[in-house]
Structure 1
Amino acid sequence: MIMKWTSLTVAMLIAISSYGLALESRFPTSWANTKKVLAAEVYTDRLRTFYCGCQYTVDPSSRGETLKPESCQLPSNLKWASKHNDVEWEHIVPAQLMPASTFTCWQKPNSFPRCVSKSGEVSSGRACCEKVDSAARNMIFDMFNAVPAAAQLNQYRSNDPYGEISDSQPHEGFGPQCEAQDLNSPGKLFEPPDCKKGDVARVWFYMRDTHKVVIPNEMSAMFLRWSNSDPVSPSEQLYAERISKIQGTVNSYVIGKEASAQGSCSWER
């Protein structure tokens, strides 16, 4: 049987082939590389932190970031005062909550020769997985999951889960411009501003689909509410498109959706 190749068939094959190439993943290979690419190629328009919109500057020689805490009225009496002018790149989904934390390289790093130095020092579980397991590296260094944050807020949040904090619960606030809240006792929760709740939710959904991150049912329902109430903003979509072109993966909860200024924070408008 002789197959007749029509122009439509050829065009479809070319389209499929091009789509496959476009989705070839190219994850960063180190945390340092992740931060460098994000600073140099993704977050280049408005140099503002994720939660509070604090302005920061970038040193062209080192790509290091310096925060301007007065730009977002960040209180000076917060803990970790030595970090008041620092920016840190934060995992929205902490590495400890990724499937990598269950891998053998994380649980038993001493069983991997590359994770044991000549002097017998054993790498941490995370560091070991970053050395020896490509799946772990991909989820830990995924650029969709990293955002610039004021270092003090990053320290407050640490690995705390996201949640909703009531006014009656004693919590830490971060000044009149930043609506983020941190609860340390009882329990531990971090609540992002309303204008970033949808962004957070859509990263978690992406990480679930891409790296099999587990989202408990109650948290999944909360994230769905957040995503519905805080739609995709133009800047969120722009950053996602840039990451997709560099990394080769797609956050379908953001890319291709109709962007709305309603989802923007005040400092993004």
Structure 2
Amino acid sequence: MSRTALVTGASSGLGAEFARQLAATGADLVLVARDRGALETLSAELGRDHAVSCEVLTADLTTREGLDAVAARLREPERPVGVLVNNAGFGLDLRFERNDPLQEERHLDLHVRATMRLTHAALGAMLLRGGGRIINVASVAAFLPRGTYGAVKAWVVSFSRWANITYSSRGVSVTAVCPGFTHTDFHARMGLAAGEEGVPPFLWLDAGDVVRAGLRDAARGRAVSVPSLRYKALVTAARLLPSRLVARLAEAGR
């Protein structure tokens, strides 16, 4: 399998952590995000700390042009990508009726359309080579009634489960990594200061731990990875409790 990994949303948060941990294994990186400056800073860090090659690809995955550029890079036979991490994403207010419908469309495009297009581009090339690994970053919200964010992440989980069943026998594994609340800048980008999410401290996860668990489960070929025992228990409880009660519990945080 190619030692090159392509990570979307790599400029910060879980994307940057995936890039760091993959670089620590000796993987070369293709770093994708809209913020070129942040990508170049991360590229310099990874090259210095791990002596790996880093390619910067600036793209807005909510646009056709951005998607086409990244999909074309994934299909390049001369520079094969062995690992794809579909991580790019953002959250919206849970009060759907107050949200801008154009933002809701961007949200759907990024989490669903971009994940589908890039998985399709990577999959074709990986199947020709007989091996590869695709990691789709979802969320514990996929298992809860939690606005459009939970809905798009539920799609990611369902899609990843199906793809792993279908293609793992041909050497390509697909894993949905489903973290709970994780210490990154995700919530700050929604306009929330530290402590404003209304989430108990024990439910917060460390980004490094989340990525380590996700990479470990992907290496084992698992279709779904839920980092930490506390969130595994929460997902199990959500399947057993009444939907209305789960929906009320899911209103915590943003």
Is the structural similarity TM-score above 0.5?
no
Q: State the TM-score, normalizing by the size of structure 2.
A: 0.30
Decide which structure has greater strand share. Answer: 2
Decide which structure has greater helix share. Answer: 2
Query: Quick one: higher RCO (CA 8 Å, sep 6+), 1 or 2?
Result: 1
Q: State the TM-score, normalizing by the size of structure 1.
A: 0.29
- Greater C-alpha radius of gyration: 1
